[in-house]
């Protein structure tokens, strides 16, 4: 549908998005470890760490060699596995563009809790819709859907650079871009879209993200921004009255 590239939205309350960066690093490292392994080790990772509704509900049992940890923990561990580099890259790009501002609004620890809870909600709703499924659910999409929804609630008027249809660069307000993305998830879920994608997991993450951002955000953080704030990288200091007449405006570059 679209590929996010950049948002004109500087950090206001934190110096650096440590949790966002850490989550991206963790996903990349885990993908590298699994991708570089043998085919049998990859299968073991997917079956042992992926979320399988029928296994969690005790209607099906995994062979003992694939039981790596308690089944309930797969509500979280599935979100750190990805099927291929495109699956990983798409999820991490969304997290990089939108995660920092959600982390800024929630704080580091609460953002980590938010991310994990959205992942759990995605798996839980997937399991509710397909309780007897024996297909492992993997990927961070449920958590990412929660992050996107939280961003929309916090910053609907921020302009976002995207590649529409993967090739057309556009700068569009979040309330258009992200609202369309969320509507697309519901459309695909209701119409039974691509069976290779768990749209139910996305819906679970969206609903959880909408609720949790209101519960976990800092008390002084507004929702539904009423004005677009120019990012610091584009702010130009105006000459003061005490500067020499030939003083030039000073541009401050770089995200702070």
Strand partners, 164: 2, 168
Look at strands 159-164 and 168-173 and give their pairing. antiparallel
Predicted pLDDT at 253: 35
Give Dmax over CA atoms of the chain in angstroms: 80
Helices (H), 36-78: 39-49, 53-56, 74-77
> What's the half-sphere exposure (Cβ side, CA atoms, 13 Å) at 205?
29
Closest CA to 206 of 129, 144, 155: 144
Predicted pLDDT at 235: 44
Topology of domain 2-234, CATH: Rhomboid-like fold (1.20.1540)
Residue ranges in the chain modelled with pLDDT below 50 = 230-256
- What is the C-alpha separation between 101 and 157, in angstroms, rounded? 13
Predicted pLDDT at 1: 66
State the Cα torsion 184-187-189-195 to the nearest 10°. Answer: -80
Predicted pLDDT at 192: 85
Predicted pLDDT at 228: 52
The pTM assigned to this predicted structure is 0.86
- Edge-first strand listing for the sheet containing 2-7: 2-7, 159-164, 168-173
Predicted pLDDT at 250: 38
What is the three-state SS of 78-118?
Answer: HHHCCCCHHHHHHHHHHHHHHHHHHHHHHCHHHHHHHHHHH
Predicted pLDDT at 193: 77
């Amino acid at each position: 549908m679209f590929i996010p590239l950049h948002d004109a939205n500087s950090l206001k309350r934190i110096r650096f998005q440590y949790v966002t960066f850490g989550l991206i690093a963790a996903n990349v490292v885990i993908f590298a470890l699994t991708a570089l392994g043998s085919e049998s080790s990859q299968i073991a990772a997917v079956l042992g760490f992926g979320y399988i509704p029928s296994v969690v509900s005790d209607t099906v049992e995994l062979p003992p060699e694939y039981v790596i940890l308690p089944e309930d923990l797969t509500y979280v561990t599935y979100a750190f596995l990805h099927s291929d580099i495109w699956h990983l890259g798409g999820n991490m790009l969304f997290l990089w563009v939108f995660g920092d501002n959600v982390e800024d609004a929630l704080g580091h620890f609460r953002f980590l809790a938010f991310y994990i809870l959205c992942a759990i909600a995605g798996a839980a709703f997937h399991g509710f819709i397909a309780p007897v499924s024996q297909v492992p659910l993997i990927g961070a999409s449920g958590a990412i859907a929660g992050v996107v929804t939280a961003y929309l609630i916090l910053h609907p008027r921020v302009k976002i650079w995207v590649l529409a249809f993967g090739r057309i660069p556009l700068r569009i307000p979040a309330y258009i871009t992200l609202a369309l993305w969320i509507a697309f998830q519901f459309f695909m879920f209701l119409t039974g879209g691509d069976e290779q994608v768990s749209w139910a997991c996305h819906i679970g993450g969206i609903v959880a993200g909408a609720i949790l951002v209101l519960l976990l955000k800092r008390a002084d953080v507004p929702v539904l921004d009423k004005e677009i704030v120019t990012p610091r990288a584009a702010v130009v200091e105006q000459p003061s009255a005490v500067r020499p007449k030939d003083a030039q405006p000073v541009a401050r570059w770089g995200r702070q």
